[in-house]
Every structure is written in C-alpha cells, then in structure tokens.
Amino acid sequence: MHTEQKTKDGGISRGLTILLAAACGLIVANLYYAQTLVGPIGASTGLSAGAAGLIVTLTQIGYVAGLLFIVPLADIVENRRLTVVALAAATAALIAAALAPNAPLFLAASLLIGTASVVAQVLVPFAASLASEEQRGRAVGNVMSGLLLGIMLARPVASFIAGIWSWPAVFAASAVAIALLAVLLSRKLPERRPVPSVSYGKLIRSLVPLLARTPTLRRRALYQSFLFGAFSLFWTVAPLRLADAYGMSQQGIAWFALVGVGGAVAAPIAGRLADKGWSRPLTWLALSVALLSWLLPQIFHGHSTASLVLLFVSAIALDMAVSGNLVLGQRVVYALGSEARGRLNGLFMSIFFIGGAVGSALGGWAYAHGGWQLASLIGAALPLLAILYALTEKGSRAIEAKPAIN
C-alpha cells in the first residue's frame, strides 16, 4: 500500500516536484566534482598522473554497481527509508574524501560516493509513481531537469570552489548539503511502501530475464547509451581542445562548462510534449540534433573566433539532445510496469551510463592519438549508429511500445 503526496486531482504537488528536482541535482553532482579536480587531488594524495584517472573511474564503477544492486531495492523496500539511509552513507563518504590523507582512502571513498549517489535514481521513479498518467512526462521532465542541472553545474562549481579555497572544501561542502537534504527528505517525502512479491535474491536474478523480455527497454536504453557516449566524449575532449587550441585557463574552461546548463531546458519541454503523444518525432529530432552538434564545428577549422562560437553552439545543442531524449526514454520505461519500476530504471540507467563511460574512454584515447578531428569522427559516429538502429524498428514500436511486465 502506498501513502503518497498528491494534489487534489491525483497528481504530484508542485512543491514536492521542486524538492525532488533539487535533491536529484545535489546528489548526482557528487559524481562529477572530481572530474575537474583530478590534477590537484592526484598531487595531494600521491597518485601518479596515469593513475589519477582511477578517481573518476571508481566513482563510475560504484554508480553502476548501485544501479544494479541498490536501485532494484526500490521495488521491495520502503522508498523514503532507502533514500535517507543512502544519503547518510553518501555524507560519510564525502567526509572521508575531504579528510583522506592518502590515495587508497580517497579512492575507497570515491567508490562509496558513486554507489550511494545512485539514490537519485530511486527518486526519479518515485516522482513518476506519484504523478498521474497525464502528467507523468511533465513530472519526470521537471525532476530530470534538476538532475541534469546537477550534472552540468558540478564541474564549474567544483573548479570555482577549489580555486577559492581547496579541493577538500568541495567535498566538505557537499557533505553538509547532503546531510541537510537527508533531514529534509525524511520529513517531506511521503511513504512509498511497495508490496514485496519476491526476495532480494530473486529480484536481482530477475534483471536479465526482465531485460530479455522487454525490447522497448533495450531499445530506449541503447538510444540513450549512444547519445550519452557522445555527450561524455565531448566533455572529455572539449576542455583539452579549449586549452590547446584557444589557450583557455582552467577558470575559462569552467565558464565554458556553464554553457551546458542551457541544455537542461529541453528536459521539461520534452516531457510535456511526450505527454501529448510526440515521443516518436522528438526521438528522431534528438538523435539528429546530436549528430549535427558534432558536424557543426567542422564548418570552420583552425583557431578562429567563428570555430569557438560553433563549439559553444554544439555544446548547447548536444546537451539539449541528450537531456530531452533521456526524459523521453524514462517516460516510456516507467510506463512498462509500476511493480518493476525500480528494476527497469536500474537497467535503463546502467546501460546508458556504461555508454557514457565508454565515450569518456574513447575520447581520451582519440584525442591522444588523433586530436580533435579523430575525436569528432567518433563523436559523430555514435548518434549516427543510434539513427541507424532506430531505422531497424518499423512503425512506432521503437518509441512507444509498452509490453506487460510479469
């Protein structure tokens, strides 16, 4: 039985939507603070330049593990309690990171930060469960816009704070924010108590069969995996490009990263239009815009002002495509079955997050071996592959099929 905070007409309240959006943004930002701080963290903890990449990698590994083993708990454990416990663990991990005197302790803290921060993916389907069918896309879009703002603001905020104080201050400030958030959510979140139909072991074992018998989930996850791979590749190589080609400082790159914030506006818009039945054309638009965002910078070569302007435009366009398509995919996935919503979301997010990790790795390799041109070629290939994959599905089944979850 669920005790849920809804409006009189059966939908989620505006205040709770705003709270969940802010919470998701604060939580998911923990995954990205270290990306612009790898250099100073490595120097402070004794990590070599080659091993410093483990800081980001272990956070990502922790997140994927959380998606597969913690998010499914939302189908059998009371969601508010699960959220507060995970936030308490995240607070402890952030404090450990801020105080870590050496590399092993910091890396262990990074792994736990990634794992505990997965609670953001408990809150998004939480919002979907509270919303009525007519407002589900809008509710998910609004909450996801908060999450995406957290992703996009984390890098520049971390750079600015570290520049004013030091890198431990970033993790200390986040620990305070997450602790306060845990207290607030414990008081404001309604109970959501799913009726357990299976044990945790059976729940985890059901993930592979669930993926196998849900083609819509596989398709939407792969679309987003290709786009998130292109997104991660871009934000891996763009700072290198800005420093090498345009001589930008770390602070200048931080300002450039703020450009991506504009892309978050696509999330609530996509959600509202999806509620009106526009999922299919919007998916094609997102895939096409992602491809064009990689082709635009090729119009001008060299280090001209025009080429820099196009890079800014590409950043906004790519972020809009990725955030918009994410909401479209989640709206479809959440409609597949409320009793399996936690598992569906865990599978969806883990698949596309793996795509992002692959994109980051490809970006670093491509830039080292072929510079911006090779990175751009691979970046354009990823949304192109998504478009080719979309062509394999006839009619609208690729976009809006809703098979039953047994």
Total domains, the chain: 2
What would the pLDDT profile of 38-83 be if each residue is shown by its tens digit?
Answer: 768 888 888 765 566 577 778 878 998 998 889 888 888 899 999 9
Mean pLDDT of the chain: 84
Residue 246 is which amino acid?
Y
Task: Give the pLDDT of residue 52.
Answer: 60
Task: Give the pLDDT of residue 108.
Answer: 95
Angle at 357 between CA 345 and CA 74, to 5 degrees: 20
Task: Give the pLDDT of residue 48.
Answer: 66
* 3-state class (DSSP) for residue 12: strand
**In terms of domains, do 127 and 188 share one?**
yes
* Residue percentage of the chain with pLDDT more than 70: 90
Task: Give the pLDDT of residue 141.
Answer: 77
**In terms of domains, do 211 and 197 share one?**
no
In a domain, 89, yes or no: yes
What would the pLDDT profile of 367-395 be if each residue is shown by its tens digit?
Answer: 878 889 999 999 999 999 999 999 987 65
Domain of 235: which CATH number?
1.20.1250.20
In a domain, 347, yes or no: yes
**In terms of domains, do 174 and 139 share one?**
yes
Confidence category of residue 256, pLDDT binned at 50, 70, 90: confident
- Whether the CB-CB separation of 78 and 4 falls below 8 Å is answered with no
Which of 196-200, 218-222, 347-351 has the least mean pLDDT? 196-200
**In terms of domains, do 136 and 213 share one?**
no
Q: Give the domain-ending residue among 157, 180, 201.
A: 201
Residue 52 or residue 177, greater confidence: 177
Q: Which residues are bridge partners to 192 per DSSP?
A: 2
Task: Give the pLDDT of residue 269.
Answer: 81
Residue 133 or residue 109, greater confidence: 109
Residue 301 or residue 15, greater confidence: 15
What would the pLDDT profile of 212-241 be if each residue is shown by its tens digit?
Answer: 988 999 999 999 999 999 988 888 788 778
Residue 10 or residue 178, greater confidence: 178
In a domain, 270, yes or no: yes
Residue 132, pLDDT > 80, answer no
What is the rounded average pLDDT of the residues 103-109? 93
Residue 341, pLDDT > 80, answer no
Q: How far apart are CA 35 and CA 42, in angstroms?
A: 11
**In terms of domains, do 296 and 357 share one?**
yes
Model confidence pTM above 0.85 = no
Q: Which residues are bridge partners to 2 per DSSP?
A: 192
**In terms of domains, do 24 and 55 share one?**
yes
Confidence category of residue 3, pLDDT binned at 50, 70, 90: very low
- Whether the CB-CB separation of 114 and 60 falls below 8 Å is answered with yes
DSSP 183-245: HHHHHHSPPB-----S-HHHHHHTHHHHHHT-HHHHHHHHHHHHHHHHHHHHHHHHHHHHHHH
Residue 125 or residue 403, greater confidence: 125
Task: Give the pLDDT of residue 250.
Answer: 66
**In terms of domains, do 130 and 36 share one?**
yes
In a domain, 119, yes or no: yes
Residue 4, pLDDT > 50, answer no
Which of 172-186, 194-208, 214-228 has the least mean pLDDT? 194-208
* 3-state class (DSSP) for residue 192: strand
In a domain, 149, yes or no: yes
Residue 2, pLDDT > 80, answer no
**In terms of domains, do 75 and 155 share one?**
yes
Domain span at 97? 9-201
In a domain, 2, yes or no: no
Task: Give the pLDDT of residue 8.
Answer: 43
Confidence category of residue 91, pLDDT binned at 50, 70, 90: very high
**In terms of domains, do 222 and 186 share one?**
no
Residue 6, pLDDT > 60, answer no
What is the rounded average pLDDT of the residues 355-365? 80
Q: Give the domain-ending residue among 156, 172, 201.
A: 201
**In terms of domains, do 175 and 241 share one?**
no
Q: Give the domain-ending residue among 201, 230, 251.
A: 201
**In terms of domains, do 281 and 143 share one?**
no
Task: Give the pLDDT of residue 290.
Answer: 95
In a domain, 210, yes or no: yes
**Which are the contacts of 97, defined by CB distance < 8 A and separation ≥ 6?**
106, 109, 110, 113, 168, 171
Task: Give the pLDDT of residue 51.
Answer: 61
Residue 111, pLDDT > 60, answer yes
In a domain, 404, yes or no: no
Q: Which residue is listed with tokens 């089944």?
A: 397
> Radius of gyration over alpha carbons of the chain, in Å?
20
Residue 277 or residue 113, greater confidence: 113
**In terms of domains, do 182 and 247 share one?**
no
